[in-house]
Structure 1
Amino acid sequence: MTTVLAIDQGTSGTKAMVVDGSDRVLSVVELPVRPRYLPGGGVEQDPQELLDSVLESGRRAVREAGAAIGCVTLANQGETVLAWDPATGEPLTPAIVWQDRRAAEICAERAEWADLVARRTGLVLDPYFSAPKMRWIRDRLTGGGVVTTSDTWLLHRLTGEFVTDAATASRSLVTDLDTGAWSPELLDVFGLGDEALPRIAACDEIVGETAAFGARTPVGGLVVDQQAALLAQRCLAPGEAKCTFGTGAFLLANMGTGPARSGSGLAASVAWRVRGTTSYCLDGQVPTAASAVRWLQDLGLVGGAPELDRAAADGAGGVLCVPALAGLSAPWWAPEATASFTGMTLSTTSGHLVRAVLDGIAAQVAELADCTARDTGARPSTRRVDGGLTRSRVLMQAVADLLQARVEVYPSEHATALGAVAFARCAADPALPPADAVVGWAPATGYTPRIGAGEAAEFRARWTAAVEDSAIGKERK
């Protein structure tokens, strides 16, 4: 198999990895990118910083690997959008990040089309997805250039092409889930019918070439980040699921080759389009996971993610946290929700607050797992997890306790990049079965519940009541 340069362009950083045909990781380079959190729910990034991080990390990874690269691939944030000039490639606006909630009013103004949007796309009419942010850019920032997700812009700068992938397109609210094509009717709902839209490519397709990292090299195997992690964790059969703990936490379940819809408030989208067949997934989102930890760090309550376990108390001391620092997504879909701490007294310490945030993240994941179980009819006894926050033993134990299931940790912090490698291998070798393209792995560690089902249910009932009382209820009265 070919040697791949995989670039995972994420919300908090960009990671470049070179993997050879024997599954050896030859180099990894990570560069931070820092979103700007603005009043009113705004979250923005500097597009030039994103591009620079892609170029620098990729070039350094190639130099450190010391190997000829046969394919370059890009995993992207999914729903982050910007306007840019197709003639020059220059950005015309900041990148509006998937966490940005400022398009909530645009969604509210289109409430009468919510059922249509859900039927056609499998998604919920919410500012989390691409089209409302695209409309917001047109209304508030500029009518010039083209407005696309960030992957299309980055790929244009690398290859000159105007393209996105099937998984990313399905996260837009303007793609028909059954056909996998842009929907003229939904585009008109958002007033985007006259926009130039990128070609939707398969995830195992070579879309162009780039000389950005040395010799001219094919570019292909494109995919949205969470679907890349789903493949990396070898969730190839219907019902198999994983949860990634990154800037947010994302639980995805493979639903096979039939366009699924959720009855429990989850989003439905394309998992990947490979070998002429489209696979689908259901997913739920916790908007703030590592970003909640960064918030704790900015407040001085923890020195950083590596110090979480030292900073967290053994228990939360009766404190409950609903970490809705960027609203709530599935199953509540409440972009107006705000974070809260309840149950504090004069004896509450910073360690209690840190622990309560981690418990709140775990509680949201447990809610998503319940939704997945209702939709799939299966409640696995083992759950697969990946991402940087899986280094926190406190958080992973809380997840195991509230899920009442064993949690198995992916052995690498780089699941998204390794999943992108598998898609690139499929693009480079049309005869390679997708299952054979996945980099081999075994769990690094595991966690089993330390509390009983009754105690877990009691905590979750109290936490859910806190959500209704503070994060959602007051906003909706």
Structure 2
Amino acid sequence: MTGPVLAVDQGTSGTKALVICPERGVIGAGFAAVRPRHLPGGLVEVDPAALYDSVLHAGRRALTEAGEPVTALGLANQGETVLAWDPATGRPLTDALVWQDRRAATVCAELAPHADELHRLTGLPLDPYFAAPKMAWIRRHATAEGVVTTSDSWLVHRLTGAYVTDAATAGRTHLLDLDSATWSPRALDLYGLSGERLPEIVDNAQPVGTTREFGPEIPLTGLIVDQQAALLAHRVTAPGSAKCTYGTGAFLLAPTGGAARRSTAGLVGCVAWRLAGRTAYCLDGQVYTAASAVRWLAGLGVIRGAADLDPVGATVPDSGGVVFVPALAGLAAPWWRGDLRGSLTGLGLDTAPGHLVRALCEGLAAQVVELSRAVAADLGEPLDVLRVDGGLTRSALLMQTQADLLQRPVEVSPLPDATALGAGALARLGAEPGLKVADALPQGGAATVYEPGIPAGEAARRLDRFRAAVAALAAGSPA
């Protein structure tokens, strides 16, 4: 049996690292903040050096706290964040364009006639959220030098010298043939990227190299996208259930088994993971702003932070007729209207901070309901339960609102760091090939279960108000 492993979750606003022991659980933890720059016009970028430094700082802190050696390393990444870099030196040639960045909208507009073909090939809708539009934008407007990849390939190269990406991350590019899980020559041609040197696509659990960046030599044996890592940690591996992570954005994933699915309801069909050469798939829906919307409200002085959601929301019985569509970075699935801006309606002289808090919680929860409905439409049956994790699950108000509008139980994970735990499980699987997947995963069970507390009719009325606000927002903006 492998000993403790180091699991690193390189996220949008920071990097979390855990040292995980198979018998004793988490024995060391570290965190390092990352501060992306939000610029006018929907631009979001970050210094690549800040990403790499955060990985090293968080990892070293976790190892220092654990005080014992580890046998393997697992790394989770943001998925759609991209940069150009020099493969000879590892030096970044551009800033990293964060997944929220919208500057590649011009690339998508040019490719609009090929949107259906790209969807059939890759399972993904045409949107600058994904990596390939950003890669093409960099080639057209920033540099023709070096290689242009998702951030994981650069991080792995800096750590080990290997030039790889995992199958799940490759599935977030818009360049992967979803059925074969190989690079699509046709997609590359459409994006003008046919001449690019792309990383080798590897399984999510296998040795890819070793690193001394944390001190002693450690083999890197697990790689995955952050949301798929959380899906695995939740033990959500069969159709019928889903998980939602409430982080900077909110991300709902539902497994579909061993067959690739193309959503007809506005979701993303993608690779969940590939283990021992066998690919598993999932449907994915995104809410671009969750914790970032809470931070926005705090920036206005309405609350001090996420910890204020419950006490401030408790000062009023309901939203007072206020409806908040928190499309502060556009609307993702199932609408795919990144051009839209958020809206607050129903304001009056009697509107108090508590009404705004409750309206925000309803706006976030309503978007997750729409994702759940889309999953049900694609799979032909409703979800039985929603398992959730992420920092915002600490808000009882948000979680109760989610259960109320969803009209299904919401199970809050006892795993506050599900993404890192999923990466750690993959590190163990890659280091110990005979290990069964179920034996590598953290033990399940819900810390709290929220049951619906309002009648279905009232939930429907609230959702109708939200949908009407989205429709008004869309009608006021050109498609």
Normalising to structure 2: TM-score of the pair? 0.98
Identify the residue that residue 87 of structure 2 maps to in structure 1.
86
Identify the residue that residue 279 of structure 1 maps to in structure 2.
280
Displacement after TM superposition at 1:377 (Å): 2.1
Query: Which blocks of at least 5 consecutive residues in structure 2 are unaligned?
Result: none
SS at match of 2:302: coil
Partner Cα separation in structure 2 for residue 69 and residue 94 of structure 1: 32
Q: Which moved more, 1:395-404 or 1:440-449?
A: 440-449
Identify the residue that residue 22 of structure 1 maps to in structure 2.
23
Q: Note if contact 1:23-1:440 (Cα within 8 Å) is conserved in structure 2.
A: no
Partner Cα separation in structure 2 for residue 381 and residue 166 of structure 1: 28
Residue 455 of structure 1, aligned match among 454, 458, 469: 458
Identify the residue that residue 475 of structure 1 maps to in structure 2.
477
Identify the residue that residue 404 of structure 1 maps to in structure 2.
407
Displacement after TM superposition at 1:381 (Å): 3.6
Residue 443 of structure 1, aligned match among 418, 441, 446: 446
Identify the residue that residue 130 of structure 1 maps to in structure 2.
131
Does the alignment pair 1:325 with 2:328?
yes
Does the alignment pair 1:394 with 2:397?
yes
Identify the residue that residue 47 of structure 1 maps to in structure 2.
48
Q: Note if contact 2:242-2:385 (Cα within 8 Å) is conserved in structure 1.
A: no
Q: Which moved more, 1:26-35 or 1:445-454?
A: 26-35
Partner Cα separation in structure 2 for residue 23 and residue 360 of structure 1: 39
Q: Note if contact 1:406-1:448 (Cα within 8 Å) is conserved in structure 2.
A: yes
Given residue 184 of structure 2, which amino acid in structure 1 is its aligned partner? Answer: S
- CA displacement, residues 356-381 of structure 1 (integer Å, 9 cap, x when unaligned): 11110000000000001111223234
Q: Note if contact 1:9-1:77 (Cα within 8 Å) is conserved in structure 2.
A: yes
- CA displacement, residues 246-302 of structure 1 (integer Å, 9 cap, x when unaligned): 111001001000111111110000000002210000010000001111111222221
Query: Which blocks of at least 5 consecutive residues in structure 1 are unaligned?
Result: none
Displacement after TM superposition at 1:306 (Å): 1.8
Identify the residue that residue 261 of structure 1 maps to in structure 2.
262
SS at match of 1:231: helix
Given residue 445 of structure 2, which amino acid in structure 1 is its aligned partner? Answer: A
What aligned pairs does 1:309-348 form with structure 2 within 5 A after superposition?
309-312=310-313, 313-348=316-351
Partner Cα separation in structure 2 for residue 292 and residue 136 of structure 1: 27
- CA displacement, residues 304-336 of structure 1 (integer Å, 9 cap, x when unaligned): 112221222432110001100111111101110
What aligned pairs does 1:143-292 form with structure 2 within 5 A after superposition?
143-292=144-293
How many residues align? The count is 476
Identify the residue that residue 382 of structure 2 maps to in structure 1.
379
Partner Cα separation in structure 2 for residue 128 and residue 233 of structure 1: 25
Q: Note if contact 2:71-2:219 (Cα within 8 Å) is conserved in structure 1.
A: yes
Partner Cα separation in structure 1 for residue 40 and residue 66 of structure 2: 42
Residue 417 of structure 2, aligned match among 403, 407, 414: 414
SS at match of 1:40: coil
Identify the residue that residue 368 of structure 1 maps to in structure 2.
371
Q: Note if contact 2:241-2:385 (Cα within 8 Å) is conserved in structure 1.
A: no
Partner Cα separation in structure 2 for residue 172 and residue 38 of structure 1: 23
- CA displacement, residues 31-62 of structure 1 (integer Å, 9 cap, x when unaligned): 21111111000011111111111001101111
Given residue 261 of structure 2, which amino acid in structure 1 is its aligned partner? Answer: A
Partner Cα separation in structure 1 for residue 317 and residue 69 of structure 2: 49
Runs of 4+ residues deviating >4 angstroms: none
What aligned pairs does 1:91-130 form with structure 2 within 5 A after superposition?
91-130=92-131
- CA displacement, residues 40-85 of structure 1 (integer Å, 9 cap, x when unaligned): 0001111111111100110111111012110011000000001111
Normalising to structure 1: TM-score of the pair? 0.98
Q: Note if contact 2:240-2:382 (Cα within 8 Å) is conserved in structure 1.
A: no
SS at match of 1:222: strand
Q: Note if contact 2:372-2:383 (Cα within 8 Å) is conserved in structure 1.
A: no
Displacement after TM superposition at 1:354 (Å): 2.1
Given residue 305 of structure 1, which amino acid in structure 2 is its aligned partner? Answer: A
Q: Which moved more, 1:234-243 or 1:95-104?
A: 234-243
Given residue 300 of structure 2, which amino acid in structure 1 is its aligned partner? Answer: L
What aligned pairs does 1:350-369 form with structure 2 within 5 A after superposition?
350-369=353-372
Q: Note if contact 1:23-1:439 (Cα within 8 Å) is conserved in structure 2.
A: no
Partner Cα separation in structure 2 for residue 257 and residue 380 of structure 1: 19
Partner Cα separation in structure 2 for residue 119 and residue 51 of structure 1: 35
- CA displacement, residues 143-184 of structure 1 (integer Å, 9 cap, x when unaligned): 221111011111111001111100000010111001111111
Alignment RMSD, CA only?
1.1
Given residue 308 of structure 1, which amino acid in structure 2 is its aligned partner? Answer: L
Q: Note if contact 2:240-2:384 (Cα within 8 Å) is conserved in structure 1.
A: no
Q: Note if contact 2:8-2:16 (Cα within 8 Å) is conserved in structure 1.
A: yes
Displacement after TM superposition at 1:23 (Å): 4.9
Partner Cα separation in structure 2 for residue 23 and residue 442 of structure 1: 17
